[in-house]
Structure 1
Amino acid sequence: MSPSSPRVLVVDDDAAIREALDRALRGEGFAVRTADGGRSGLREAAAFAPDAIVLDVAMPDLNGRAVCARLRAGGDRVPILILSARDEVDDRVAGLQAGADDYLVKPFAFAELVARLRALLRRAAEEHAAAATPATECPDDLVAGDLTVVLADRTARRGARAIDLTRREFDLLEALARHTGIVLSREQLLQQVWGYDFAVEGNVVDVFVGYLRRKLEAEGEPRLIQTVRGVGFVLRAEP
């Protein structure tokens, strides 16, 4: 990651949004490049090597879900913040399932977009530093009932069944598994998993919990992640 000006790639087929974000992000000290569609976004991502991507989901040539999926399939772990109109719920969900880290609904406050970008960049820098630090010993697995979270290779399984998780899904599962039996508020999860130490709009925690539940319960297994109404979520080995 750049030591000074973080590189941000903005991919959106709406010229007005592209130009507004380009101008505003430069004013906040980011180095910005833009692309007007999914295919050009992939080309720019390869050439520009951005530190973060702001990605629209609904584009005519190649949608954001496909862009995200191709980047992740190629091993690119760049933080991706997707943008979605309110009536594009399916596109937003598909983008997150393809490996995006967060989403923001249009219209949005520019200040929140900047805050989310900075938080995702901080989180990515912390993960990079942790990965570069030689491990003195293998970390212990986290076990809750028939769930095993393997920290060494960031995998998880339910019994003998392997669970395919995106990076952010794994981070959320790890946070819950580290506090088995303890209720974590949405604010705590936003801070631990996304690095957000500020209030955000939307229900990103609830959305990712929903993804995790579907994957953890794909073969009819009992529910592990419980909702505590008005408080947050808790992982319990015995529902």
Structure 2
Amino acid sequence: MTPPDLLMIEDDADLAALLRADLEAAGYRVRIAPSVIAGLTMARAAFPNLVLLDLGLPDGTGREVLVRLRRSSLTVPILVLTGRDTVEQKVDLLTLGADDYLVKPVHPQELLARIAGHLRHRAAAELRDEVLTYRGLVVRPARHQASYQGQPLQLSPTELRMLTVLLRQPGRVFSRDEMARELWPEGGNTLRSNAVDVHMANLRKKLRAVQLHGLIRTVRQVGYGIRKVQPERLG
């Protein structure tokens, strides 16, 4: 079996070498891009399974890379490595399309757990190859595709996973902690509930943009769920 391909966009050669050694020892194939230009070029040409993105780069910022990769419809998970442990910055990154973040210094075991969790989600979706439909909304998790009335929705991997979780159990209300465990079963820092809210806000904004209003309901002091119309399952 071909090992998963990871792209690390990181200009610190020493840190990149250390992380690469840990990742390759765990069975991953790792490519390193030391700049914005190299990162964008390799991400579009190498078809990585996951991107590790540093924010401080010599010819620009990781934030710029994140924006451009999502605008180019890259659907793989993007895990940001950041030196700033502030809620504001993390909310900003999640809003722009990051799926996860780790604060430096990065602990190798936590990094490996986060990567494995994201890749597991994608592998599980590919095995199911399911199609979920709901009032003109069509979601194909394995292909990372979502559309409404034939119009494609550009969702990040985490947004699509969140929508899939809700569609699989219509009528059920997920608390923020339950949704966090669905999205990040490998665990992580204490800001996961905040991350759920940010991803949910992004998802709702994209649904509203195609005139799909009111699909996701908020139950005050409980959480989120799909309104009680049973979606049709195909396949």
Q: TM-score if structure 1 supplies the norm length?
A: 0.71
What corresponds to 2:50 in structure 1? 52
What is the 5 A alignment of 1:148-227?
A: 149-151=137-139, 154-155=146-147, 165-186=155-176, 188-194=178-184, 196=185, 198-213=186-201, 216=204, 224-226=217-219
Q: Does 2:9 align with 1:17? A: no
Superposed displacement of residue 129, structure 1: 4.3
Q: Does 2:63 align with 1:65? A: yes
Q: Does 2:96 align with 1:98? A: yes
Closer, same or farther in 2 for the Cα pair 1:41/1:139, shift >3 Å? closer
Closer, same or farther in 2 for the Cα pair 1:213/1:41, shift >3 Å? closer
Superimposed CA distance per residue, residues 2-22 of structure 1 (whole angstroms, 9 cap, x where no aligned partner): x33222111122233212111
Superimposed CA distance per residue, residues 89-133 of structure 1 (whole angstroms, 9 cap, x where no aligned partner): 554433323322211122332111101111211222233445xx5
- Aligned 8 A contact 1:38 1:62 in 2: yes
What corresponds to 1:117 in structure 2? 115
Superposed displacement of residue 37, structure 1: 1.9
Equivalent residue letter for 2:197:
V
What percentage of residue pairs aligned between the two structures are identical? 29
Distance 2:26 2:154 in 1: 37
Runs ≥4 in structure 1, deviation > 6 angstroms?
none
Equivalent residue letter for 2:163:
L
Superimposed CA distance per residue, residues 119-176 of structure 1 (whole angstroms, 9 cap, x where no aligned partner): 211222233445xx5x7xx6430x6xxxx8543662469xxxx986433223213423
Q: TM-score if structure 2 supplies the norm length?
A: 0.72
Task: Find the partner of 1:75 among 69, 73, 76.
Answer: 73
Distance 1:23 1:73 in 2: 31
Aligned length: 216
Which stretches in structure 2 are left out of the alignment for 5+ residues?
229-235
Superimposed CA distance per residue, residues 16-69 of structure 1 (whole angstroms, 9 cap, x where no aligned partner): 321211121122121112121222112232443322111112334232232223
Closer, same or farther in 2 for the Cα pair 1:234/1:107, shift >3 Å? same
- Aligned 8 A contact 2:181 2:187 in 1: no
Give 3-state SS (helix, strand or coil) of 1:208's partner. helix
Equivalent residue letter for 2:13:
A
Q: Which has the higher contact order (CA 8 A, sep 6+)?
A: 2
Give 3-state SS (helix, strand or coil) of 2:32's partner. strand
Equivalent residue letter for 1:154:
A
Superposed displacement of residue 184, structure 1: 2.7
Superposed displacement of residue 207, structure 1: 1.7
* Aligned-residue RMSD, C-alpha: 3.5
